[in-house]
Chains A and B, each alone.
Chain A
């Protein structure tokens, strides 16, 4: 059984090592770059061992290699490849879903990238669980389209696809508990709030005993922070992204530095926006939840040093319709969603075997 977290920024495959029964994860960047056409482009790509595919006469460099090459070109090197007319890095996902404004070829190339990552099933009808974002609260797009496209693709490879909401995967992986006197143990497992701060979107889920009672996504996440902060600072978005990934520490903001100051402000705004939307959804619930809830956070955007402290600070300024037991960052936050999907895949596979 396998899992796949298809994020705007990264693809993460999870699988269970048969010998050790421990989960293993492989990450690939979800992007590609078109190489300029010349007689020796393909030869050069092969010699340099770049990860690439070819369509008609064009070569496309995939994943991490695309980012490496783009960075090399930015600083002037070219590894012998004629890349003078190379385009921007292409990311065929936006706001957590397949970006259908991109041409079909882009989606086909990303499907190749996914295939390179997950390969063929180890046995017929192997279960592969992937995740999809919740319905967006501030964007007008439909998650069904994204889900159907991926289901069709995964099925076409010979897998049995299984799909769960992204933030529910955090709950499945991290098993938050909630006080519940009706349970023998006094607590209900898989009950709490999962929040995934990804590149394209934030996914939020409130699960009560494995059941997602609230599930939605907000489009303003990591990419949005970079774009807005770069506008304020007057620097390039990719430069802002690099600065954020290398230098930002939310516990030590130097407010005289416009880049740090603007990033700090937009982090606050992002967290506040997610919690405000969550509160609004919580108020619509029929169930009255008195027990304090645990919040588990995952995703690449939450990996910035000081994120959890910042989250708690913003949380303390808001009037929420529920009590908070504690806030914690998931262990191995970059792999948590994929791990949650893997847990689900193992469960489905086991139940399927039991049924015979």
Chain B
């Protein structure tokens, strides 16, 4: 089962407690990076969803505001097809409008077959738009791998900033124990 989120912002959204980074306008299946209980506990995720930085696409189904009713019908990692309609384009309506316009402006010399051919050609073009957007999504899916090291570096910086605001009160450490005959120097020479 997938737990897909969509970054709606122009900036990278980092879910530090899940070690996840979602690029601008990209989608990520959080179950590829963390277990479901951790996802459900995630403070950063809750915050990002509440502030509408991320949109939750529950179990692979994305709900979008109108006019697009359904963007993703099926979401599977890697090999499986993602069906997608470009945002803001209603294919059926568009075809209808084009048909209407062509009917209205039809020159007398042009017969119905030509009109139908033109519409078919237009439909093909619209379909090719869909194909283009499919590959974009596929790229997104393939781009799911996260650079853990980069994420850790970002996390380090965030923690360093917090650390600057921590004041040391009383400072003490445990008792020092000296161990004899451990041959540390000799062992080091052998390494």
Interface residues of chain A, those whose CB is within 8 Å of chain B, are 16-17, 20-28, 42, 45-46, 49-56, 59, 63-64, 100-105, 107-109, 111-112, 116-117, 140, 142, 144-145, 148-149, 152-153, 156, 172-173, 175, 189-190, 210, 332, 335, 339, 342-344, 346-347, 350
Chain B, range 108-130, C-beta contacts under 8 Å to A: none
Name 16 extra pairs, CB < 8 A, besides A23-B182, A339-B182.
A20-B178, A26-B173, A51-B170, A55-B165, A55-B167, A56-B165, A101-B38, A107-B159, A116-B168, A142-B148, A145-B148, A145-B149, A152-B152, A152-B153, A190-B190, A332-B179
A53 touching B167, Cβ below 8 Å:
yes
Q: Does B171 contact A (CB under 8 A)?
A: yes
Residue of A whose beta carbon sits closest to that of B147: A144
B169 touching A145, Cβ below 8 Å:
no
B169 touching A346, Cβ below 8 Å:
no
A21-B176 Cα distance, complex, nearest whole Å: 15
A51 touching B172, Cβ below 8 Å:
yes
Q: Does B70 contact A (CB under 8 A)?
A: no
> A54 to nearest B CB, angstroms?
5
**Chain B positions within 8 Å of A107 at CB level:** 159
Count the A-B residue pairs with Cβ separation under 8 angstroms: how many? 154
Q: Which of A17, A111, A339, A342 contacts B159 (CB 8 A)?
A: A111
The total of chain B residues at the interface (CB under 8 A) is 45
Chain B, range 151-190, C-beta contacts under 8 Å to A: 151-153, 155-156, 158-160, 162-163, 165-180, 182, 184-185, 187-190
Interface residues of chain B, those whose CB is within 8 Å of chain A, are 16-19, 35, 38, 41-43, 148-149, 151-153, 155-156, 158-160, 162-163, 165-180, 182, 184-185, 187-191
Residue of B whose beta carbon sits closest to that of A142: B148
B166 touching A55, Cβ below 8 Å:
yes
B156 touching A149, Cβ below 8 Å:
yes
A145 touching B187, Cβ below 8 Å:
no
A249-B149 Cα distance, complex, nearest whole Å: 43
B159 touching A54, Cβ below 8 Å:
no
> B177 to nearest A CB, angstroms?
5
A64 touching B166, Cβ below 8 Å:
no
A108 touching B179, Cβ below 8 Å:
no
A347 and B156 in contact (CB under 8 A), knowing A23-B178, A28-B174, A140-B35?
no
A108 touching B19, Cβ below 8 Å:
no
A335 and B172 in contact (CB under 8 A), knowing A109-B166, A111-B163, A149-B155?
no
Residue of A whose beta carbon sits closest to that of B171: A116
A101 touching B17, Cβ below 8 Å:
yes
